[in-house]
Amino acid sequence: MVPTELVEKFWPLMNASKPPPKTPKTSPKPPQIPFRAPPEAPCPQMVPTELVEKEFWRLVNSIEEDVTVEYGADIHSKEFGSGFPVRDGKRRLSPEEEEYAGSGWNLNVMPVLQQSVLCHINADISGMKVPWLYVGMVFSAFCWHIEDHWSYSINYLHWGEPKTWYGVPSFAAEHLEEVMKKLTPELFESQPDLLHQLVTLMNPNTLMAHGVPVVRTNQCAGEFVITFPRAYHSGFNQGYNFAEAVNFCTADWLPAGRQCIEHYRRLRRYCVFSHEELICKMAASPEKLDLNLAAAVHKEMFVLVQEERKLRKALLEKGITEAEREAFELLPDDERQCDKCKTTCFLSALACYDCPQGLVCLYHMDDLCKCPRSKQYLRYRYTLDELPAMLHKLKVRAESFDTWANKVRIALEVEDGRKRTLEELRALESEARERKFPENELLHRLKGCLGQAERCVSEALGLISSQETGVPAPALTLEELRAFLEQMNQLPCVMHQIGDVQALLERVEAFQDEARAALDVPPPGPGALQELLDRGARLGVEVPEGRRLERQLAQAAWLEEAGRTVAPSPAVDVAMAELQELLTIAQRWEEKAQMCLEARTVTTTRAWMTWRGWWPWAGTCRVRLEELRQLEVQVLCPCADAGSDSSKRLKWRQEPGLYRLDAESLGLSAQDLRDPGAVIVAFKEGEQKEKEGMLRLRHANSQKSAPPLPGPGPPSCVCGQPAGPAMLQCQLCRDWFHGSCVSWPRLGAQKPSPAWWEWDAKFLCPLCQRSRRPRLETILALLVALQKLPVRLPEGEALQCLTERAITWQDRARQLLASRTGPGPWSGWRRCGTGCTAATAATAPCARPAATSRPRASFGAGGGRAPPEHLPSVPPGVGGERDAPSPEKNGPLPSELEALSAALPRLQGPVLELAEGTRRPLEELMMEGDLLEVTLDEAQSIWRLLQATRPPPLALFRLLLEDS
């Protein structure tokens, strides 16, 4: 935004730089549009742009009415300031202004960007390289015109009312000129370059009627409008506004710029700058050009050289042989303009010794003067031998990237069979940086290869120096050393350290052979073992045999020490015999324990008592095996096969020999069971597999018809028979089961309550509920007992993981249930209706009439409502006051079961409404809770909440009541 005081400076200059358009005229009767509206009238922005546009063209076409407007146009920004931040040192810029001061969209920066051709022009061309400012009022217009040298233009509206634009594409420029010459021939006869004077305005409808394509747009504050080369444009301002504009030229403009000079030559129009000088200046410093710009300049320079050759040849044919070199760029433009076509000369010009004031371009060599040819001479900037050299440099620059890319490709892929040195690869990277090649895939690959090679050199030098100096380096394993050597061999560059690393690997392998030999034969003495270990330590590489050598050395040292300190005696022989017997017993016990771990059977108290004879201290273990026996072993671990189809799961259930044990399903071997870390990792992986498998199983079962139709069809239930009547759906796996094959909830055994969402109608199939699901407190007590044991059981880690999983889920559920205010998950809850509240004494609970309105109360922040865990309460009993049978009139009350059955038709729901974004996390949390083989109160609370958001399952209630 430009300060108001800066805008006020523009008003005295509004008519200084450009005459006003011809169309708006003076009139004693102003128009009736209230662009200066009183306070009670609509503000100017409220006047439709179409209405202002219609009035503008009415005034333009009117002969009787004249309107005078003021337009502060073509104001030099260097003198009066720019609307964009500028680093001119006059004031300190804020951090935000600093960002915009260097932005390419800043109109003070855009013309001089590296990709812009205008940055190679030294002079500050006002309006082209230096932005112009425009302060407009309503109806102030800019007439049909194209930009100087057919360049691009960009206009930014800083603030104020919109600016209406009309544009004609470049391919229709000549058509527009022909139409205007046809409609106003007398104007173009006197002024052939009339369209370049910005004084001609013609209605777009007239142009379109003669086949000229015209487009329009409304430019609002904060928007850019860009015009393309030779695209005619005009327009007017809808009201008071402030804009800024400048020109720019990209590489694709160069051919259009050359055609513009030819057009100017025919019209005898002055040039703003010399196109030839611009091309030659860029060709003289090709290394400073962008690759795309260098290629475009090469094409233009080639055309320029060919044309210059032809013109100079024609000059020689006319007998003009005298020539002088001239630095045209040092002359003012008015001293090197062609007297005939007004073109600014640069490469060459024709002059006369007798007429020193005369100068023409070679296109008009016959129009210089009437002097003899011997008096005329050529003034040239470059010889014909120098121009091809400049052309060659451009070609090298334009093709430099392709040449560089080819060299990099050959080096990285070793296409010629020769690996490059690191210095050669660094030179390629340095060339790309110096020539400012754009970022590309080959450059990224080259940098990655160099980085990898330098890291390998650093690591190799570290290994080699540690061998020479004895300073320990980070130890590598034998496999890591081999992988490191393989990595060095695969690099596309020469690695001088490969020989040293290969020699180190050979020494390590020789040491490994010696260590194996020492371990295979009867163990040598401690001295020989210690010497072997010292040699291995100096290598700095770990081999698998090193640990075995250390254990062998410790045994040898102990035996040597024992042999020196214990004197031979009968007591020693007896003790040795007892030790041997204990060793034999321990080995036999270890064999039985190994068999037990592989079979994964549940050990009973009797088995432990039997093993007491094999292991002397087994009787001291206080293991409460009665509690362990009640806990099914497979329940401790997640069911990694939860995603299996029902028939496969059934087969495992019916044939225990085929049902995989928990250790096998988690991929645990007998060796893994000895490692607590392996058990915990396998348990965590099993949790994820169980969840993913259950999601797949639920999706597959949801495709079945609900409920399945009786009759022939795919097998269902645990019995594997087709579907029949009275089918129940598992709340977890979503599969269907016969009521006669499974145990289901008994509604009759519950206390009757009209809050149907609290009825215990949840059904989990025997394939999903694998145990009686003890409470978390029971499992915690068992875990405490296990931690007091002097031995480690693999079931202990599994039980600990199960407990952590249950506690983690419980914490998540409590946090969700405890969220009452703020933008938490309960912001999506709504309570539906009043039929299930204690206040509805006149209507049966959960049985409101269909016409009753359903007011909803939010549980979001500041709602002042009850939290979602407080579901609507109901009074005791089934019916309300009107529906409750009177003992005096109807006899005794019906049974609780009959009361529940009688209340089913009056149940309505849902009681609560839940947003879709909140329901899904709850359902996912409910599924994870159902997968736990632990009973938690939070799981029941979440299930009741989800039930309250659905319609009452009347069919399920009837089925359960009939069974009861």
Average pLDDT over residues 888-902: 57
C-alpha closest to that of 942 among 918, 962, 923, 961:
923
CB 494 within 8 Å of CB 419: yes
Q: Are residues 470 and 378 in the same domain?
A: no
Range with the lowest mean pLDDT among 8-12, 465-469, 504-508, 512-516?
8-12
Residue 672: per-residue pLDDT: 62
Q: Are residues 443 and 386 in the same domain?
A: no
pLDDT band at 620 (very low <50, low <70, confident <90, very high): very low
Per-residue pLDDT tens digits for 767-777: 888 777 888 88
Residue 565: per-residue pLDDT: 58
Q: Are residues 482 and 537 in the same domain?
A: yes
Q: What is the percent of the chain where pLDDT is above 70?
A: 73
pLDDT band at 165 (very low <50, low <70, confident <90, very high): very high
Helical segments of 540-632, H only: 545-565, 570-599, 605-611, 625-630
Best mean pLDDT range from 346-355, 410-419, 793-802: 346-355
Per DSSP, 567 falls in state P
Q: Are residues 65 and 183 in the same domain?
A: yes
Tell me which of 365, 398, 431 is where a domain ends.
398
Taking the C-alpha atoms of residue 312 and residue 308, their distance in angstroms, rounded to an integer, is 6
Distance of alpha carbon 256 from its chain centroid, rounded?
A: 40
Q: Are residues 423 and 394 in the same domain?
A: no
Residue 652: per-residue pLDDT: 44
Q: Does any domain span residue 488?
A: yes
Q: How many domains does the chain have?
A: 4
- Does residue 158 carry a pLDDT above 90? yes
Q: Are residues 55 and 182 in the same domain?
A: yes
Higher pLDDT, 274 or 724: 274
Higher pLDDT, 470 or 162: 162
Residues contacting residue 743 through CB under 8 Å, at least 6 positions apart: none
State the virtual CA torsion across 816, 820, 821, 825 in degrees, nearest 10. Answer: 30
Taking the C-alpha atoms of residue 54 and residue 72, their distance in angstroms, rounded to an integer, is 23
Q: Does any domain span residue 129?
A: yes
Average pLDDT over residues 96-119: 86
Taking the C-alpha atoms of residue 101 and residue 815, their distance in angstroms, rounded to an integer, is 50
Higher pLDDT, 341 or 614: 341
Helix and strand counts by DSSP (H, E) for the chain? 30, 19
Output phi, psi for 225, to 5 deg.
-125, 125
pLDDT band at 219 (very low <50, low <70, confident <90, very high): very high
Residue 915 lies in domain: 747-762+783-788+796-817+892-963
Residue 183: per-residue pLDDT: 84
- Does residue 744 carry a pLDDT above 50? yes
Q: Does any domain span residue 757?
A: yes
3-state secondary structure of 217: strand
Best mean pLDDT range from 16-30, 204-218, 425-439: 204-218
Residue 929: per-residue pLDDT: 86
CB 142 within 8 Å of CB 219: no
Output phi, psi for 188, to 5 deg.
-80, -20
Q: Are residues 896 and 754 in the same domain?
A: yes
Average pLDDT over residues 664-668: 62
Query: Rounded to the nearest 5 degrees, what angle is found at the Cα of 636, between the Cα atoms of 635 and 639?
Result: 60
Q: Does any domain span residue 659?
A: no
Residue 211's CATH number? 2.60.120.650
- Does residue 896 carry a pLDDT above 60? yes
Residue 877: per-residue pLDDT: 34
Residue 156: per-residue pLDDT: 95
Distance of alpha carbon 350 from its chain centroid, rounded?
A: 63
Q: Are residues 289 and 142 in the same domain?
A: no
Per-residue pLDDT tens digits for 54-91: 999 999 888 888 888 999 888 888 888 888 988 877 77
Taking the C-alpha atoms of residue 490 and residue 395, their distance in angstroms, rounded to an integer, is 36
Average pLDDT over residues 600-608: 40
Taking the C-alpha atoms of residue 935 and residue 41, their distance in angstroms, rounded to an integer, is 73
- Does residue 39 carry a pLDDT above 60? no
Range with the lowest mean pLDDT among 421-430, 488-497, 800-809, 839-848?
839-848
Q: Are residues 203 and 311 in the same domain?
A: no
CB 144 within 8 Å of CB 200: yes
Average pLDDT over residues 948-960: 80
Strands (E), 277-343: 323-325
Sheet strands side by side (includes 215-219): 141-145, 233-237, 163-167, 215-219
C-alpha distance from residue 344 to each of 258, 328, 764, 905, 927 (Å): 13, 9, 94, 99, 83
Tell me which of 536, 565, 594 is where a domain ends.
565
CB 437 within 8 Å of CB 291: yes
CA dihedral sign, ordered 58, 62, 67, 71: positive
C-alpha distance from residue 839 to each of 85, 865, 872 (Å): 68, 16, 10
Q: Does any domain span residue 95?
A: yes
Taking the C-alpha atoms of residue 885 and residue 899, their distance in angstroms, rounded to an integer, is 11
Average pLDDT over residues 251-260: 91
Describe the chain by its helix, strand, coil percentages, rounded to 5.
50, 10, 40
Q: Does any domain span residue 232?
A: yes
Q: Does any domain span residue 839?
A: no
Average pLDDT over residues 550-574: 70
Q: Does any domain span residue 852?
A: no
C-alpha distance from residue 683 to each of 653, 664, 689, 783, 946 (Å): 22, 12, 10, 17, 30
Residues contacting residue 427 through CB under 8 Å, at least 6 positions apart: none
pLDDT band at 913 (very low <50, low <70, confident <90, very high): confident
Q: Are residues 512 and 481 in the same domain?
A: yes
Q: Are residues 356 and 479 in the same domain?
A: no
Q: What is the percent of the chain where pLDDT is above 90?
A: 12
| Mean per-residue pLDDT of the chain | 74
Q: Are residues 291 and 212 in the same domain?
A: no
C-alpha closest to that of 753 among 953, 896, 854:
896
- Does residue 97 carry a pLDDT above 50? yes
- Does residue 429 carry a pLDDT above 90? no
